[in-house]
Amino acid sequence: MAKLGLEAIVEILKSAGEPTRLRLLALLARGDLTVTDLTDILGQSQPRISRHLKLLTEAALVERYQEGAWAYFRLRHDGAAVSLARHLLESADEADPVLARDAERLVVLKKARAEKAQAYFSRNAAEWDELRRLHVSEAEVEATLVRLIGEEPVDAFLDLGTGTGRILQLFEGLYRRGVGVDASRDMLAVARSNLDRAGITKASIRHGDIFNLPLERDEFDVVTIHQVLHFLDEPDAAIAEAARMLRPGGRLVIIDLAPHTLEHLRDAHAHLRLGFSHQIVKDWLEQAALALEQTIDLAPADPSADALTVTIWLARDQRPAEKGATGAEPLIAIGRRT
């Protein structure tokens, strides 16, 4: 931990050393949350929570970022101040009645979000292709992906949030072994049907949690998550889990929506996030020990329409690639449900 002067330590302790603010830090250490989330968990008024968050932000302990009409807060990832705050949190007893109750309420909140998204996926499993019209042409996205990934074969390919299995079909000629994982059994049924129809036998479909995959680490040259992150409560955790699947030197490609203002997508289509900025995804990639190599924005032909911009991030595992593991550079893609 970076060394701090006496006055700096005192100021940080003043900022963090208040019951509500310490509770906020403990919650934000578990993921990004809105003011509404925090008021529901702590049972305090929005103005009171906002004042505490403002103080924590000014003390460089918390950072704020905007997504449409919603503001998210998170514990900062680096800096001397937050290093000291994390040390305080590590010293806290998780069995403390107040902290334990906050943690339980956070679990309930996240469970409700996950159930809402899961119900949406199940309801729309057979109609997913219609929802693709929300953004820039799918043909353009796929053509860009094919150019970006290249034609050199790889050994193992993983598609996270596989949806209808479209990504496994698109790259069928690239991999020796493919795996698609999804949390929705309805979507898995659709994916299996599509793979059967296409005669693809080297890809298998599995039910699993994107945050806790039923797979071995360092196993895949290619991992894809296609338009899934905006449905997730903790997209950074999904990226970290995807990175865990990568073999040394593997590439990760994230395909998702750029920031937008279509608020109705939250309720109508269970979007938890209104797109992602270049910087926030770059931060998450770096946290997962991945190096960002390229960012591509695919904007709609008519900027006045409601069509959305799709962004593709290409990142790489920084460990030296294993010799003889595959005939090509390893790949991982995180992208859109299709």
The 10s digit of each residue's pLDDT in 150-179 is: 999 999 999 999 988 999 999 999 999 999
Beta bridge partner(s), residue 5: none
**Whole-number pLDDT of residue 336:** 43
Q: Give the pLDDT confidence of 12-53 residue by residue, as tens digits.
A: 888 888 999 999 999 998 888 889 999 999 999 999 999 999
pLDDT in tens, 105-154: 998 988 887 777 667 667 765 555 555 666 778 889 999 999 999 999 99
Q: Taking residues 256-284, what's their average pLDDT? A: 91
Q: What is the mean pLDDT of residues 180-207?
A: 85
Whole-prediction pTM: 0.73
Q: Which of 23-27, 263-267, 300-304 has the lowest mean pLDDT?
A: 300-304
278-283 average pLDDT score: 96
List the 33-34 sheet strands across, edge first: 33-34, 70-75, 62-67
Strand-strand pairing, 310-317 and 333-334: unpaired
Is it the case that residue 198 has pLDDT exceeding 80?
Answer: yes
More confident residue, 196 or 180: 180
Q: What is the mean pLDDT of residues 39-68?
A: 91
Q: Which of 36-45, 146-155, 259-268, 278-287 has the lowest mean pLDDT?
A: 259-268
